[in-house]
A and B are shown apart, each in its own frame.
Chain A
Amino acid sequence: MSLLDVFDIAGSAMSAQSVRLNVTSSNLANAQSVGGDEDSTYRARNPVFSAVMQSLRGNAASVGVKVDGIYESQAKLEQQYQPNNPLANEEGYVFLPNVNMVDEMANMISASRSYQSNVEVLNTSKQMMLATLRMGQ
């Protein structure tokens, strides 16, 4: 039944968006986590989504979402002169994470709006199904 597909699709989108929100919050939390060298410093992470056919019910029309993977940003790390920092290297520099606050805030708002619209879809479908069950009463 196609209305049941809506629950799977909106559910997959909601879980994907919550992964995105999760990644954003860890980026924001680690925005100030400095490191002693390039490898150990935190790098901004980003999830990548891909469409996935829900072929279980044999209905090729319904397409859900899955998180394909989480990738670390390869942007250059900024260096800052902090000779008193215990993590500083021989020249007295520490590495700052390449987290862009503006990007992260925009990502957060986008993820929460997408999540909300999927919840709305789910609620509407639920009402449609309940109305169908009451048919003829």
Chain B
Amino acid sequence: MNKSIHHLLIRNLIRWRWRLVLIAFLVAISTSISILYGGMLQKFQAESIENIEPLNLPYDILVILSDQQAPRTQFDNLGTYRYESQGGVYRGRPSEIPITIQKAEEALALELQTPFGLWEVWGIDTENSSLQSEELLGEGAWPEVQGELWVPASYKEDFELQIGNTVPLFFVDEFGVKKEFQLVICGVGSSEYDLQKPQITMESAHWISGSKQPNRQILFSESFKYMSNWSLFNSKMEQMYPGATYIYKAMPQLQWQNLMKAVQNPGQWVLLLVFVFMAVSVLTISLMTFLERKQELAVLKTLGISDFQLSFVLFLELFTAGILGFFIGIRIVSFVSLVIPSYFADSSASISLLYLKNGLITLLFFIVAVIYPLLLAKVASVNQLLYAREIPLVVARYDHIVSPPTDWIREMQQERLHMLKMTVIDGKSLSVILKNPGEKVKTGEVVAFMSSIAGFYYQEWLAPCDGVIQSFETANGKYVIKPEDPLTPLYPYTGLIQTRK
């Protein structure tokens, strides 16, 4: 950096110290609040999951098939998991292992009206069913013949049932005809699995319902416990079983996480508001400072500082304040986490990510906020700075018509005239005309200008030749200049009509 520019920067930093300190303070507050608040939300999310336990199921996935949906025989992979070999030649080398379904069973679930409310009873194929293991059985035996019923342990306690009890029940078929049956309890479950249903043989289910189409599919997968990409899992299941409901062990926790996200939703708004307010405040302060320093900037520009150098110095001033504020903010956060040791959730990786994310967002908002005054300082001319003229960010200058109509081109060629097109609406000119018909103009002289979009966009029309303004039509904006020298070359419009010599 040029030495004098360096000095200028230092002097400015000292001179505007309180203004810059205010900016640093805002950035510091924004950084610390966003990190502390983000940390609080993270901790809340991490701790809240302890309020809910995963389901304890004797299978991995239960699919409640929708109407007319047949059980599947072929299964896609449900996702993959990362596996690092602990020994052998592949030790430490990670590989992606697919999560596959090893086994599937079908059940025919029936809704039965009993003396104990509505029961969902499963008809199971008794041969080699994983749902009829020794561990699950408890007392008695699994149903083997028609009319036998096995009930989970919780049913025994809730309804005071014993082996040998007869349970009268009704089944309403698809026609609405109610049939009465009796089932005898042959076994009672032992273990406390969740969502267990009473079981009968598949023959009993056929006998009661008259249907042979299973409506539940139970899936077993040894690698399902490694599942972590639940959105992929959901889309795979939706592909395999469109419209079906599926229940798996982690489902309550995932549902809970979604609910907690909704609970925290306003919290995200607070974070956004913190950033927005920081940006608005920094924008105001830097803009006001720019307005105050207009004359100083005009002097610098007069002395020969380039636009880039000027905006660079101003940027460094503001950026120094921003960075200072950022580090003060980080310091505040570390102070708070020292005073309250359990402030953040335990995972240090997620805290680093939080620092990085919120720090970057703060800086991003900060940079967006200071861009406008910096751009103004860059594009402003000395006159605009000194005499409080509007400083447009975009300037367009025309000495010809961008796409003239063919008849205008013909007229220009035949009459040897130069034309410009002013902006007119409903017969009223929006361009401010500086040179009226009859007045003389010199090449490059501004004949009209227009300022739009709250002064951000500025258009100027320049005389393309020395001459006299011949006419201006407010109906179509046609502005005609008759050149002093008829041989002044016309603007080389494309598609210029060639006249035959």
Chain A bound to chain B: no
Q: Which residues of B contact A (CB under 8 A)?
A: none
